[in-house]
Amino acid sequence: MNITFIGAGNVAWHLAQALHAAGHTITAIYSRNAAQRDALAGKVAAAAIVSLDLREEVAEVVLIAVPDAALAAVAAEIKVKSGTVVAHTSGSQPLAILAAVAGAKAGVFYPLQTFSKAKAVDFAQVPLLLEAKDAEALESLQALAQSISKTVETVDSEARKQLHLAAVFACNFTNHLLGISQQLLEQAGLPIALLRPLLQETIAKAMQQHPFTVQTGPAIRHDDNVIQAHLHMLQQQPRWQDLYRLLTQSIQDSGNQA
């Protein structure tokens, strides 16, 4: 398939390369960030373009991978040949945000993964969540998705929004807690690798049983001496102290419900 990318950030960076490696042609890359655009265009043998008027492009599919906050502006400006499938890659934004694109068959192509340019991603393991009202558009997106991933699902905008919120808790917020944890280890001169088995087990367990039913630690045991000692250890980091307190309360709430 011929695909044009709008955006050259973390998602576009990995997705364009995965599609290119799977044998698709990336015809062009548009981005307001010229350096990122040119770097990605070089990687996938695409043209670097400077206009959102794509009516002369040969692409059957246009993938818009821009920050959520920029999506409406792109949708208002972009022009495509009638019948082109135009899909965004956002977890939080509805399909309807693309209604502004005249003549396009709107779709969503949401990769449920966290991307950083510095780290390679095995796309075969990335769930791709699709949405489109037009049956042909959905088929095109499915063919595209199945060419790079083993997990392809159709999910509507409401469910995807909820999935995105769940992913913020499971990934973004978890990553922040791991960052706090790492800072605390560094203070004690201990390597973070010590925590790896614990993290693996925490996740393996959460996949087998509801996490609320296998909660361990001082909060669920109402071990007030340990909780107070921990809060005292965090007195130089008032924000983390607040987080410790609130997470402890929330665990105790959930324990009472379970």
Residues 149-168 that bind a second copy (CB under 8 A): 151, 153, 155, 158-159, 161-163, 165-168
Rule CB under 8 A: say whether 142 interacts with a second copy: no
Q: Are 104 and 85 in contact (CB under 8 A)?
A: yes
Cβ nearer to a second copy, comparing 20 with 161: 161
Smallest separation, CB 89 to a second copy (Å):
13
Which strand (E) or helix (H) includes residue 25? strand 25-30
Say which residue the tokens 């039913």 belong to: 213
Which strand (E) or helix (H) includes residue 241? helix 238-257
Cβ nearer to a second copy, comparing 48 with 243: 243
The one among 21, 96, 143, 214 contacting a second copy by CB under 8 A? 214
DSSP state of 48: E
Token readout for 98 is 């693309």
DSSP state of 194: G
Rule CB under 8 A: say whether 212 interacts with a second copy: yes
Interface stretch with a second copy, choices 13-21, 43-51, 96-104, 182-190 (CB under 8 A):
182-190
Smallest separation, CB 241 to a second copy (Å):
11
Smallest separation, CB 113 to a second copy (Å):
6
Rule CB under 8 A: say whether 76 interacts with a second copy: no
Under rule CB under 8 A, which residues in 29-68 are in contact with a second copy? 67-68
Residues ≥6 apart with Cβ < 8 Å to 76: 100
Measured CA to CA, the distance from residue 26 to residue 6 in angstroms comes to 11
